[in-house]
Amino acid sequence: LIVPDFGLLAREIDATYEELRDERGGAVADYIPQLARTDPDSFGIAVCTVDGQRHLAGDARTMFCVQSVSKTVGYCLALEEHGIDGTHQHVGREPSGLGFNEVTFNQQGLPHNPMINAGAIISASLIRPGEPLSDRYEHVERTWQRLAGGRRPGFSNSVYLSERATADRNFALGYLMRERGAFPEGTDLREALEFYFQCCSVEVDADMLAMVAATFANGGICPLTGDRVFGPDTVQHCQSLMMSCGMYDFSGEFAFSIGLPAKSGVSGALMIVVPQVMGIAVWSPRLDSQGNTVRGIEFCKRLVERYVVHPHDAA
């Protein structure tokens, strides 16, 4: 067993969950109107080890939108289809040092990386570009399902419609990228944006997201089904960018103090990979000023205090 005393880990998770329930700092994202309707007190934690041991705490079976966590899956799908060079011809791989929706491009006129909005819109445009939108969405949905051990994800049409109706910033990013020639040839801008919003509106619960993270931790093979969803190189590249860019402009501090690949979303979702050991998901909608879940960040701090998970832990 990869975590010999899983019962102890489970009890520690429960204790941390209880401690953090009183944490009410931060605010639910409201720039996507529908997201503002989420119950701010929602709080779920889930863990899945690479050998399939699982534990849930709190609202771990309530569905929420993945939002920016979808940037991981989108990037992996682009890599699997176009390889590293084919993908990075359209998007960089340096941190931007700025917020997720900042209007900024690198010296080549490309988005800084696939973990911010501009870069994720590019990833979306690279996923089976020749196929009808319906088939492309099915491919994304099916990938989430395989990553999550076979459970089918949901889709929030109201969040999708709400985001699409209020997406001036993402449209602005799209137009600027088109002007700079960042998209693959033949990209329909409106379609690329709508597909990106749909990818953000995929719904999972913390239990599923922990299994997704565990599939990453396990090098791309789902621990529950043995299904190889992504190749090892894809997982490596994605985790490298989660490490350097996954937590918006908190990424440097997160890499310093936590040291794990992770990706957050404005729904309050957080996916954390402990490579070769386990996947963890935290969902709690109140966000800090950088857009990361307050309780999720606090959970990570306590995790590194209690367990040797920081890869540079020399104690």
SS3 37: helix
- Measure the CA–CA gap between 2 and 217, rounded to whole angstroms: 12
Asked if 100 is part of the footprint of ligand GLN (rule: CB under 6 A), the reply reads: yes
Token pair of 248 as six digits: 């918006």
What DSSP state is assigned to residue 151? P
Token pair of 122 as six digits: 């590019």
Residue nearest ligand GLN, CB atom distance: 68
- Could you say which of 47, 266, 282, 294 contacts ligand GLN (CB under 6 A)? 266
Nearer to ligand GLN (CB atom), residue 53 or residue 284: 284
Nearer to ligand GLN (CB atom), residue 72 or residue 117: 117
Nearer to ligand GLN (CB atom), residue 163 or residue 194: 163
Distance of CA 211 to the CA centre of its chain: 13
Where do we find the tokens 């104690």?
A: 315
Stretch 150-189 residues interacting with ligand GLN (CB under 6 A): 163, 170
195 CB-contact burial (10 Å; exposed 0-12 / middle 13-18 / buried 19+): buried
155 CB-contact burial (10 Å; exposed 0-12 / middle 13-18 / buried 19+): middle
Residues linked to residue 271 through DSSP beta bridges, in sequence order: 263, 281
- Could you say which of 44, 58, 174, 291 contacts ligand GLN (CB under 6 A)? 291
Stretch 195-254 residues interacting with ligand GLN (CB under 6 A): 200
Asked if 117 is part of the footprint of ligand GLN (rule: CB under 6 A), the reply reads: yes
Stretch 38-77 residues interacting with ligand GLN (CB under 6 A): 67-68
Neighbours of 69 (CB within 10 A): 29
Asked if 113 is part of the footprint of ligand GLN (rule: CB under 6 A), the reply reads: no
What's the chain's Rg over C-alpha atoms?
Answer: 18
How many residues bind ligand GLN (CB under 6 A)? The answer is: 11
Would you say 163 is a known binding-site residue? yes
Annotated binding site: 68, 117, 163, 170, 196, 248, 266
Annotated binding site for substrate: 68, 117, 163, 170, 196, 248, 266
Q: Which residues bind ligand GLN (CB under 6 A)?
A: 67-68, 100-101, 117, 163, 170, 200, 265-266, 291
